[in-house]
Amino acid sequence: MSIGSIDPIDLARRLESFVESPIRRIADLLESAHGDPSIISFGGGEPSLDPPLELLDWLHDELALDPHRVSTYTSTAGLLQLRSELAYELGRSGVKIDASDIVITIGATEALYLAIHAVVNPGDEVILFDPTYVSYEPTVTLAGGKVRWVATSARENFEPDIEDVKAAITPRTKAIILLSPDNPTGRVLSESFVKAIADLAQDKKFFIISDEAYKEMLFEGRHVSPAEFSDKAIVCSSFSKVASIPGFRSGYLYTKNSDVIKGVMKLKQFVSLCSVLPAQVMLTRFYQHGLHQKYLREVVIPTYRKRRDVMTKALRELLPDAYFSPPQGAFYVFPDFSSYTKHLGLNDESFADELFKRSKVVVVPGHYFGASGKNHVRLTFVTEPEERIVEGLERIAKFVSLANLAKPA
């Protein structure tokens, strides 16, 4: 029988329970554009900086010295040396943790998948803030869980109200997912809010899954981890942003709860065996000799702070009807474009499509981040240099001055 005549066989129904990530769709779109320089991307939050050159030299030398040692599997939890460096680093920031409480993962993405699948039973509820990062709802759904949304608003700087969280808690609440600094809003959670969540988790017995992918991408304020106060915290974090290495697919998970660590490792044995060793070799070096702090202080934060300032200033000047709350951290601004989408007769999805077709500017439609993101767009300020940030916003300003696009010409 030839391949063409094989009858289709049904795929798993779980594939219909969630939609594709708009951010991954943008990565595919940009790849198929083959680096077309006329495209300005405010799409995926990908660092445009090089990783520290010293790290690349280090990895090169280690591979040359003993290629086999750097190319094998590791234990499920990952390189002990890297976990020990991380435990030391976390101790300095107020979180007392042992190397044995840490698992190195394939990015924060795998850490979140493992954490959610280790604690959520079918029918359990997970509290999410609206808007928030796109990957939580599909992952909770895959685990059979149900999402309970807690709305936040730009007028309140997207700071959630603890009374709204209390109202969302039910006997089925298994976890809440915190993200600070936040994607898409750039909001940083206050210490009093994080403490209040830790108290609730203790009282009502649920986990706090804390996504700390952007914990060091801070322009104002201090990052507060629930792990400073609570043994209910399961922290999922990333090396993608802090070391500018998203393609090395590396992150980590830690918790003081040894049952959760055992559960996560049991799952990881069958999800990925272990994480990427060359990246772990490189990252061990990153946390030695003050390299990590130096790279952040001298390269990452000054570059991104400047770009954030350029983007927010140009937004105010060029698109004065776009209301936004200035981001305190992370890589994004999340303006409300309602007045522009309304004038053009579009919604945030068709706005993003038309903008790309006519002006070659990539933005992410806001509704993917939750119902309150409707008619917002997410703009990242880290992928383009300052001149192109301004040029991209000028192109958007020109685009929004067009006549209603929904009306027939």
Ligand X SMILES: Cc1ncc(COP(=O)(O)O)c(C=O)c1O
CA distances 185 to 6, 210, 343, 374, 394, Å, are 47, 16, 24, 13, 22
Q: Is 211 in the site for ligand X (CB under 6 A)?
A: yes
**Looking at beta carbons only, is 132 or 347 nearer to ligand X?**
132
Residue among 152, 173, 183, 284 that touches ligand X (CB under 6 A): 183
**Looking at beta carbons only, is 251 or 392 nearer to ligand X?**
251
Task: Give the number of residues in contact with ligand X, rule: CB under 6 A.
Answer: 13
Judge contact between 12 and 331, C-beta under 8 A: no
Q: Enumerate residues 15-54 that contact ligand X by CB under 6 A.
A: 45
The CA distance from 229 to 113, in Å, is 24
Site string for ligand X, 246-285 (x = CB under 6 A): x----x----------------------------------
The CA distance from 79 to 281, in Å, is 8
Binding range to ligand X, per CB under 6 A, among 156-164, 238-246, 262-270, 307-315: 238-246
Q: Is 240 in the site for ligand X (CB under 6 A)?
A: yes
CB under 8 Å to 44, separation ≥6 — which residues? Answer: 23, 26, 27, 30, 380, 383
Whole-number minimum distance, CB 217 to ligand X, in Å? 10
> Taking the mean position of all CA atoms in its chain, how far away is CA 84?
25
Q: Is 74 in the site for ligand X (CB under 6 A)?
A: no
**Looking at beta carbons only, is 108 or 300 nearer to ligand X?**
108
Burial of 278 per CB tally in 10 Å (0-12, 13-18, 19+): middle
Q: Is 238 in the site for ligand X (CB under 6 A)?
A: yes
Residue among 74, 109, 272, 339 that touches ligand X (CB under 6 A): 109
Q: Is 212 in the site for ligand X (CB under 6 A)?
A: no
**Looking at beta carbons only, is 97 or 213 nearer to ligand X?**
213
Whole-number minimum distance, CB 323 to ligand X, in Å? 23
> In 3-state terms, the chain is what percent helix, strand and coil (to 5)?
45, 15, 40
State the residue number with the nearest CB to ligand X: 107
Which pair of structure tokens corresponds to residue 168? 């969302």
**Looking at beta carbons only, is 213 or 400 nearer to ligand X?**
213
Neighbouring CB atoms inside 10 A of 5's CB total: 6
Binding range to ligand X, per CB under 6 A, among 104-112, 137-145, 219-227, 278-286: 104-112
Residue among 133, 252, 340, 356 that touches ligand X (CB under 6 A): 133
Binding range to ligand X, per CB under 6 A, among 107-115, 225-233, 348-356, 360-368: 107-115
Whole-number minimum distance, CB 33 to ligand X, in Å? 20
Judge contact between 159 and 193, C-beta under 8 A: yes
**Looking at beta carbons only, is 43 or 251 nearer to ligand X?**
251
**Looking at beta carbons only, is 45 or 347 nearer to ligand X?**
45
The CA distance from 154 to 278, in Å, is 41
Q: Is 328 in the site for ligand X (CB under 6 A)?
A: no
b/e for 249-260, b at 16 or more Cβ within 10 A? bbbbbbbbbeeb
Binding range to ligand X, per CB under 6 A, among 103-111, 284-292, 301-309, 349-357: 103-111
- The helix or strand, by DSSP H or E, that contains position 359, with its residue range, turns out to be helix 348-359
**Looking at beta carbons only, is 251 or 373 nearer to ligand X?**
251
Neighbouring CB atoms inside 10 A of 31's CB total: 9
Residue 233 pairs in a beta bridge with 208
**Looking at beta carbons only, is 126 or 344 nearer to ligand X?**
126
Q: Is 186 in the site for ligand X (CB under 6 A)?
A: no
Q: Is 382 in the site for ligand X (CB under 6 A)?
A: no
**Residue 205 Rama label (left phi>0; alpha psi -120 to 50; beta):** left
Q: Is 179 in the site for ligand X (CB under 6 A)?
A: yes
CB under 8 Å to 329, separation ≥6 — which residues? Answer: 180, 181, 182, 186, 187, 188, 214, 217, 218, 219, 220, 221, 223
In 12-141, DSSP assigns E strands to 40-41, 102-105, 125-130
The length of the chain in residues reads 409
User: Which residues form the interface with ligand X (CB under 6 A)?
Assistant: 45, 107-109, 133, 179, 183, 211, 213, 238, 240, 246, 251
